Structure 1
Amino acid sequence: MSLITIGVNHKTAPVSVREKVVFAPEQMSDALRDLARLPGLDEAAILSTCNRTELYCSVHDPRHEAELVRWLGEYHHLDGGALRPFIYEFSDTEAVRHAIRVASGLDSLVIGEPQILGQLKTAYSAAAAQGTLGKLLRRLFQHAFAVAKHVRTDTAIGSSAVSVAFAAVTLARQIFGDIGEQRALLIGAGETIELVARHLRGVGIRELTVANRTPERAEALAREFEARAITLSDIGQVLHEADIVIASTASPVPILGKGAVERAIRQRRRKPVFMVDLAVPRDIESEVGELNDVYLYTVDDLQEVVAQNLASRQEAATEAESIVDVQTEHFMGWLRAQDAVELIRGYRDRAERARQDVLAKARRQLGQGRPPEEVLEFLAETLTNKLTHEPTTSLHQAARDGRTELIGAACELLKLPRLLNDKPKP
């Protein structure tokens, strides 16, 4: 059995590719069931965020990677060959290391950002609910979660408020200077938008409006941050008021089109507007960026801002990588031990059968009136002979054949001194 991870992320694929392989929340159950039906696949989980889509699988054949790439392409109606240049693949040790690094925020656009751990836990819960997790992936995810907590507790990797949301707000401050005079429209009400709202309030934004498909969620967020709540259908009526627009929804199609933004710009009398699209697939049509007086950025455009925030985390990341190395080996030790489970179970079952056989004979002898001392002697001697006969016969033959490696292994397994051509000197 092998572990395989395949995927695309912000390092290997542009947003135009990543948005084509995103699994929307409502697709996840169907996708997991479909993936689990692949021949030779035992377990599966899917992680899908704005910056990455990854398949975590336990398979019989480590060469299964090509089949997983084919499935990913077909599920999204894409040519697997066209997708292949953007795909990365990890197996066994490297797959374990990758999962731990992802959970710890070491593979994120912003090193150490905490959102990915929650997203990985969501992926774990979805797979568990669909019954596509088994012993191997369940143990891997739980181990990754524990190591991520260890990393955040024992290093300074999460000591500063750095995230894609924070990077967006940082860029807005660089553009406007005094952000306290600006109005912001936030489209969506998920975790990313909540972080954006928190950061904007932290730097003194003048006014916040939250637009969401579900009014209840928008209202809950609005109450927390003293904002105004509207539905997505109301955006056209208030868009001209916004100096800053930041969008992050799970919509499969754009929320803001070029025409709506053009009308808002005319109402603003050409006053510039700053837009950040943090969604994948994109919430704002790319053509909006062609308009005068509109400054549109996507998650990929935040790289430079993000880079400025990474310096303080590099030392902590180095410490974290050391923890990851140690914990990867710990998991691989557990995984290797699983190969011996059946062997150990078989050996113990044979010993148990020998015990039961000899015990039954001893009981019959007691029933026949033999003295208990004789029966105990019979039981001990017979059981010892049954347990040692085959190993000692094999060791004797190994010695005759000169198989010193087998003798050495037996000494290590049975905790015996090396007696063959290796007698300790008096």
Structure 2
Amino acid sequence: MRHHQGMSLLAIGINHNTASVEVREKVSFMPETMSESLRSILDLPGISETVILSTCNRSEIYCQSDKATESADALVNWLAASHHLDPAELKACTYVHTDDRVVDHISKVAAGLDSMVLGEPQILGQLKSAYAVAQEHKAVGSMLNFVFQHSFKVAKKVRTETAIGENAVSVAYAAVSLSTRIFEDLSTCKALLVGAGETIDLVARHLREKGLTQITVANRTLARAESLANEFNARACLLSDIPTELPHADIVISSTASQLPLIGKGMVERALKARKNKPMFMVDIAVPRDIEHEVGDLNDVFLYTVDDLRSVIEDNRRSRQVAAQEAERIIENQTEVFSSNVNIRAAGSVIRVMREKAHRVKQKELDKAKKSLAAGEDPEAVMQLLAHNLTNKLMHSPTVALRTAFEEGDPNANDWALKLFEIKP
């Protein structure tokens, strides 16, 4: 890791890889106490800026601090105390990053490389909102602004230049994305969803996102079907209504806990006849199966099972892995760019101060010379004195500093002196 003049970044955190759900639950931050938490962190030694990111899979604190080690210890102790945890237990599952590594880490988080589901897009929104909240409470300054803007830009670059977010890795999404292979435009399709668990909930959500509005939910109890149907502006029916609903369904996705198949070959044959053999896309996500295996033998039916979906998901996972490697390279590159920008910013401020000092020396000597000329002194002599004084004053500080550096045995003194004054050794 390179040293940076202007960077003194610190990040500490826990995530799904380092801490159990029990610990993660305890370390979460509530929105209503966020301003209090931000203030408490700013009171810790060395910390001048901070942002808190808290999701169900991670809690992370980003800081600008001029005492990294001291601040990191103080942060872990503060976290443990404020969430009633044993500091040693917390320390065991906490990671600490500084400078470059902070920039690298936050970019990975923003791009979804550090998420449970590789490349998931929600985390970027959560990061943006954490940053906005910290801004609102005046907890961020120019350094963290610089870092967060950088991470948002990198996440966008990763999304546009790699396939990290494409290709679903959840069963529900894979089921819906398979249906788009059969039907080009889902907005004209009708769907029958059988079951009312979490998977069906997700399936309904993904179908709506793809423009499908006509959904019927069938379930063993009407109440459960209705509560899901209300959420998605859909119709509810009972499992016993499936034979009458089936002829209207272009897409059937089933996921119940039933021990026996709910949809048999005869029932589907009758539905196809009523549909005048318009094709049907069916996905059986249930284990054991909800749709009889023989249904797949019928013409005009495209039947997929969990195993088919698994292979789709596996392919997608692999392509995400490849994308993740490309993303890592992009992030590494961009972190280097960021670091040199920070160094340029730091150098810029040093150079500005140096020039301002030289400018003050020049102004003072120039004023003196003008006075002498006004008093009628010999212009030649005034110019000689001006040049002599300017050279002496400008060379004074570097000469003293160089002499001290040589006396203290600084190994770089010689090289720097020659570099600064462009003297060939």
Corresponding position: 1:197 with 2:205: yes
Task: Note the C-alpha offset of 1:384.
Answer: 3.0
Pairs within 5 Å for 1:41-60 = 41-60=47-66
Most deviating of 350-359 and 28-37: 28-37
Root-mean-square deviation over aligned CA pairs: 4.3
Task: Note the C-alpha offset of 1:55.
Answer: 1.0
Does the 8 A contact of 1:45 with 1:55 survive in 2? yes
Does the 8 A contact of 2:173 with 2:203 survive in 1? no
Secondary structure, in 3 states, of the residue corresponding to 1:110? coil
CA distance in 2, matches of 1:227, 1:26: 35
Assess, with a 3 A threshold, how the Cα gap between structure 1 residues 339 and 30 changes in structure 2: closer, same or farther: same
> Among 132, 141, 147, which residue is 1:134 paired with?
141
CA distance in 1, matches of 2:151, 2:203: 24
Report the equivalent of 2:21.
15
Assess, with a 3 A threshold, how the Cα gap between structure 1 residues 415 and 17 changes in structure 2: closer, same or farther: same
Report the equivalent of 1:247.
none
Task: Note the C-alpha offset of 1:21.
Answer: 2.1
Assess, with a 3 A threshold, how the Cα gap between structure 1 residues 195 and 2 changes in structure 2: closer, same or farther: farther
Pairs within 5 Å for 1:200-239 = 202=210, 206-207=215-216, 226-227=233-234
Secondary structure, in 3 states, of the residue corresponding to 1:181? strand
CA distance in 1, matches of 2:175, 2:114: 22
Report the equivalent of 1:249.
none
Task: Note the C-alpha offset of 1:124.
Answer: 0.6
Assess, with a 3 A threshold, how the Cα gap between structure 1 residues 343 and 206 changes in structure 2: closer, same or farther: closer
- Please say which structure displays the higher CA radius of gyration: 2
Does the 8 A contact of 1:110 with 1:162 survive in 2? no
Assess, with a 3 A threshold, how the Cα gap between structure 1 residues 131 and 375 changes in structure 2: closer, same or farther: same
CA distance in 2, matches of 1:348, 1:17: 53
Report the equivalent of 2:358.
351
Assess, with a 3 A threshold, how the Cα gap between structure 1 residues 140 and 370 changes in structure 2: closer, same or farther: same
Secondary structure, in 3 states, of the residue corresponding to 1:113? coil
Secondary structure, in 3 states, of the residue corresponding to 1:83? helix
The alignment of Structure 1 onto Structure 2 pairs a total of residues equal to 330
> Among 7, 13, 35, which residue is 2:41 paired with?
35
Assess, with a 3 A threshold, how the Cα gap between structure 1 residues 329 and 195 changes in structure 2: closer, same or farther: farther
CA distance in 2, matches of 1:319, 1:123: 27
Task: Note the C-alpha offset of 1:346.
Answer: 4.7
Does the 8 A contact of 1:5 with 1:90 survive in 2? yes
Report the equivalent of 1:99.
106
Most deviating of 31-40 and 365-374: 365-374
Does the 8 A contact of 2:51 with 2:139 survive in 1? yes
Does the 8 A contact of 2:163 with 2:319 survive in 1? no
Assess, with a 3 A threshold, how the Cα gap between structure 1 residues 391 and 56 changes in structure 2: closer, same or farther: closer
For 1:17, give the aligned amino acid.
V
Q: Mark the runs of 5 or more structure 2 residues left unpaired by the alignment.
A: 1-6, 183-189, 219-226, 240-255, 260-287, 289-309
> Among 193, 214, 221, which residue is 1:182 paired with?
193
Q: Mark the runs of 5 or more structure 1 residues left unpaired by the alignment.
A: 188-192, 210-217, 229-237, 242-268, 273-292, 294-302, 419-426
Task: Note the C-alpha offset of 1:114.
Answer: 2.0
Task: Note the C-alpha offset of 1:115.
Answer: 1.8
What TM-score, normalized to structure 1?
Answer: 0.64
CA distance in 2, matches of 1:199, 1:162: 13
Pairs within 5 Å for 1:8-407 = 8-63=14-69, 64-158=71-165, 160-162=166-168, 166-170=170-174, 180-182=191-193, 197-199=205-207, 202=210, 206-207=215-216, 226-227=233-234, 271=258, 309-336=316-343, 343-344=350-351, 346-370=353-377, 375=382, 378-391=385-398, 405-407=412-414
Percent of paired sites with the same residue = 41
CA distance in 1, matches of 2:367, 2:331: 53
Assess, with a 3 A threshold, how the Cα gap between structure 1 residues 404 and 72 changes in structure 2: closer, same or farther: closer
For 2:390, give the aligned amino acid.
L
Does the 8 A contact of 1:113 with 1:162 survive in 2? no
Assess, with a 3 A threshold, how the Cα gap between structure 1 residues 200 and 125 changes in structure 2: closer, same or farther: same
In the TM superposition, what whole-angstrom CA distance separates every residue of 1:271-311 from its partner, at most 9, and x where no partner exists?
58xxxxxxxxxxxxxxxxxxxx9xxxxxxxxx999766321
